[in-house]
Structure 1
Amino acid sequence: MLISLWFAVTSHAAPPPASPDDPLLASTLGHVSADRLQARIERLAAFGTRHTASSATHPTRGIGAARRWIEAELRACAAGTPLQVQARTHLEPAGRRLAGPTEIVNIVATLPGRLGSPRVLVMLGHYDSRNGDVMDAEGDAPGANDDASGTAAVMEAACLAAHAAKTRPLNATIVFAAVAGEEQGLLGAAQLARELDTHFTVEGVITNDIVGSPHGAQGEHAPHTLRLFADGLDPLLRLMLRGAAAEPSPRLKAQQELAAAGGSEDLPTAQFGRHLKQAIETHVPGFQVQLIQRRDRTLRGGDHLPFLERGLAAVRFSEPFENYAHQHQNVRVESGQQMGDLPRFVDPAYVARITQANLAGLLSLAWAPAPPNDVRVDARELSNDTRLMWIGVDGASGYRVLWRRSEAAHWEHALDVGPGARSALLQGVSRDDWVFAVQALDNQGRASLAIYAPPRGS
């Protein structure tokens, strides 16, 4: 049954509320350990090199030793929890950054959601490393920040989320993955994207890449700042520029249509970015998220891109400054300056806050209901009011209607309606002047991702 809710916006609308307090989430974040993170970063760097083409069999050096250690660590912390750990292997042929066929092994720890839920959230870090020569598989490449920091964050988050899920089961599966082949062309992430996109509904992906230090090369220091790169429009534009030779997938084509209907800043990646910013700034006190409307740093990339290019919501977390003396460098002293990506340049307290940020964003969504379906603005008749319509979802205890001026970066107004509502009329709010979305709510006020409402005339 469709229920139209009539109300005066001036008397009922309010700013969107903050994420609700959650003692279990707060306890989980409180158990993040900077000491454990530091120990794991140092251990990963101690493998000497983790280059994708380095030794797969040496007991203490190379990528094989590193991945066996990562898998063993995750299996140890998974004991007695729902966490499932796998090493997933595929063979990559020789290519521009691989001299010969190479095994790519992703270490994947899966925390299942409730039975039957297809929803998946993903947290990534890449455990391979490189020095100044991307083809050098033998020389030292400690990779403490790029990306032992992200890998350690994934491991810590997986272990803590697994224990939280014992107390409160998840409504969505979370996949924690340490992937290989990033420096050789995002190879492990591309394979994982193919696997997950085939079998699940991927709701959001975070890659953690270079998240180890709040210090800049010129003395900058921002220990409570995170850069969050989130833009779903760029792949659509590039596909459109390629022309008919690259026909977009149905998902990307649908997003092109949303963008053309005024939703270019409200594609799934943008909504995921907004959610993460709100959840992190609510649950990690004092942490500020710089939400940057770009898919990544200028002319650079990371492991979220294979997901993003499939039309999936995918973002990148990075530290506020990048010190290039410690990135993609051979370890050496040059003109009195220590070069190379060494553990001493990583701040474990900062990595701990990054880990908390991931957990806050992912667990708050995994405990929330699925988003509503077929959200739309009813444009069948000319009117200065706006009617929103949607299809409800199981487990929702209500819905939240959101709207903002088109030039506003974040939602400005909200109104919560009951579980039976499938439409709402906003009197005096013109669909020409505002942007709209709808979220599903659970009985604790946890909200799903917001779903943009395009106009529909039929």
Structure 2
Amino acid sequence: MGSHDTADGRSARSTRRTFLSASASAAATAVAVPLIAEPAAAGAAAPPPGPGHRIRPQAPDRELRELLRRVDPERIEATVRRLAAFGTRHTLSSQDDPVRGIGAARDWIHERMTAYAAASGGRMTVELQSYVQDPAPRIPTATRITNVVATLRGDTAPNRTYVVTGHYDSRASDVADAVADAPGADDDASGVAVVLELARLMATRRTAATIVFAAVAGEEQGLYGSTHLARQLKAAGADVQGMFSNDIVGSSTADDGTRDPRTLRLFAEGVPTAETPAEATVRQSVGGENDSPSRQLARFVTDVADNDATGMRVRVVYRRDRYLRGSDHIPFLREGWPAGRFTEPHEDFAHQHQDVRVVDGRQYGDLPEFCDFAYIARVARVNGAALWSLARAPGTPRGAVIVTTNLTNDTTLRWQRDDDPDVAGYEVVWRETTAADWQRVVDVGDVTEATVDLSKDNVFFGVRAVGRDGLRSPVAFPKPGS
């Protein structure tokens, strides 16, 4: 692209060229990039002037739109009602009663997953992933914990893995009460319904990366099932590049009656749980507290799933989770993987973790009657858009470094090239340090190094991969290096 030259052929200061150089191996190229920001779209904040173009959301393609259209609210409702009908799904309830308790729920979920896998042509496998948990807080005696796990193997990058969970155990007001009715419709049959619906829809579709659909147990007693799942994936050497927990995603109504049927919260931590103190110090020294892998994953979700195809606004919350509580993404954070927790916009505490009862003619308890099934379907679409886009796009770039060994007013970034055959090239993204989201993007081609005529002292940089079909990966935030 050219600049606006003066009459004597020199570039005016306000419209000077900036040069971006990129190299891979011994090759190097120079690309002229204008410093003038293009006009802002109506109602949108203008991006800062500088190299590249305004960054825009990734619009869903025809195939993704078709997948999201097939999300079925009636099927989701049937799943929630069936799980609630087991009476209780408490982790300590019966494991061998055919009609009541966590064992009956486990077997029903396994049956559903197996039926979906039968249509996958062998690409989806289903397992009952079990272990015996020794006595611990909230586990008075040795107890078998069982996850129901469906794995849809990717075609070209099968070790790259994305995980989505809902927990199928439930609880009453007394977390130790394994006998009382605890239908657990919102917490968390709603999340399990999302997982089952996505497994059904994606079983017949092909992806580059692997997707794991898991109904986990033991959440209410201490995240036991998800901890076991994360450890099993770690032991297997899986490259988990993203994980979503769907926990309490069944209602759009707060305890004061306020409704917000088009908003879904996504909790995403800042400084990673698994970082060492030394790593955290480095992150803070360069201002990267808001640029953890989980925050980049959350930005990716808003990029691909906050649109008309899902019908939802994704409200990212810059916290690991809510006060006093935690969900099944936390064990994945502990393993050093990017993860987030989806949950409804408000919570109705009168119906969560409450025994089923009638007071003054009003019924209380976590019952299906208090769920919004159209809302859960939209939550499933958000998850579906994110997982589909992640599993079809290239993986997040590795080894991203911002060179800090020289005092210069330009910025050099380096990264490792992915061996994924779908990678077509890379993009450098950047934003003002006070901006929450990436603002501008520079296409640098199929290279592993780029130099941008913009000071690293003043803005934040990142790198993302681009697939041959135009799908982009989450952004990798570079570490200081040489």
Work out whether the TM-score is over 0.5.
yes
Give the distance between the partners of 2:60 and 2:385, measured in 1 at CA: 11
How far apart are 1:93 and its partner, in Å? 0.8
Instruction: String of CA shifts for 1:73-114, please: whole Å, max 9, x gaps.
Output: 111121120211111100001111012000000000000012
SS at match of 2:340: strand
Query: Is 1:446 matched up with 2:471?
Result: yes
- After TM superposition, the structure 1 stretch with the greater mean CA deviation from structure 2, 311-320 or 3-12, is 3-12
Report the counterpart of residue 15 of structure 2 in structure 1.
Answer: none
Deviation of 1:336 after TM superposition, in Å, equals 4.0
Measured in 2, the distance between the counterparts of 1:132 and 1:227 equals 25
Residue 308 of structure 1 deviates from its aligned partner by: 1.0
The alpha-carbon deviation at position 9 of structure 1 amounts to 4.5
Match of 1:229 in 2: 267
Question: Which residue does 1:299 correspond to in 2?
Answer: 324
Partner Cα separation in structure 1 for residue 30 and residue 103 of structure 2 = 60
The CA deviation string for residues 312-365 of structure 1, in whole angstroms up to 9 with x for no partner, is 101000000100011010011234432100000011100000001101001101
One-letter identity of the residue aligned with 1:50? R
- Whether the 8 Å CA contact 2:157–2:209 is kept in 1: the answer is no
Q: CA deviation at 1:390?
A: 1.7
After superposition, the Cα gap between the structure-2 partners of 1:416 and 1:115, relative to the gap in structure 1 and judged at 3 Å, is: closer
Q: TM-score, normalised by structure 2?
A: 0.88
Q: Name the counterpart of 2:290.
A: 265
C-alpha deviation, 1:235, in angstroms: 2.6
Question: Contact 1:284 / 1:353 at 8 angstroms: preserved in 2?
Answer: no
Cα deviation per residue 1:148-207 (whole Å; 9 max; x = unaligned)?
Answer: 000011000011011222xxxx22110000000000000000000111122211101100
Structure 1 residue identity aligned to 2:130: T
1:410 and 2:437 correspond: yes
435 and 9 in structure 1: CA distance in 2 versus 1, 3 angstrom threshold: farther
CA drift of 1:6 comes to 4.1
Task: Select 1:41's aligned residue among 67, 72, 80.
Answer: 80
Which structure has more relative contact order (CA 8 Å, sep 6+)? It is 1
Say whether residues 1:208 and 2:235 are aligned partners. no
SS at match of 2:53: coil
CA RMSD, Structure 1 to Structure 2 (Å) = 1.7
Correspondence list, 1:369-380, <5 A: 369-380=394-405
1:284, CA displacement in angstroms?
Answer: 3.0
SS in 2 for 1:183: helix
Does residue 90 in structure 1 map to residue 131 in structure 2?
yes
After TM superposition, the structure 1 = structure 2 runs for residues 357-436 of structure 1, keeping only pairs within 5 Å, are 357-394=382-419, 395-419=422-446, 421-427=447-453, 429-436=454-461
Q: Structure 1 residue 256: deviation in Å? A: 5.6
Contact 2:274 2:333 in 1 (8 A): no
When you count helix as a share of all residues, which structure comes out higher? 1
Cα distance in structure 2, aligned partners of 1:279 and 1:140 = 39
How many angstroms does 1:236 deviate by? 5.6
2:59–2:304 contact (8 Å) kept in structure 1? no
* 2:229 equivalent in structure 1: 192
User: Counterpart amino acid of 2:118?
Assistant: A
Equivalent residue of 1:452, what SS? coil
Aligned to 2:172: 131
Task: Check 1:272–1:330 CA distance in 2 against 1; reply closer, same or farther (3 A cut).
Answer: same
How many Å apart are 1:262 and its aligned residue?
2.6
Q: Is contact 1:52–1:181 with CA below 8 Å preserved after alignment?
A: yes
**In structure 2, distance between residues paired with 1:24 and 1:34:** 20
- Report the equivalent of 2:113: 74
Count, aligned residues: 438
**Given that residues 26 and 283 in structure 1 are in contact (C-alpha distance below 8 angstroms), is that contact kept between their aligned partners in structure 2?**
no
| Matched residue, 1:319 | 344
Q: Percent identity?
A: 43
* Aligned 8 A contact 1:371 1:451 in 2: yes
Q: After alignment, is 173-182 or 369-378 more displaced?
A: 369-378
Q: Does 1:15 align with 2:54?
A: yes
- The answer (yes or no) to whether the contact 1:398–1:441 under 8 Å persists in 2 is yes
Determine if contact 1:6/1:426 at 8 Å carries over to the other structure.
Answer: no
Larger Rg: 2
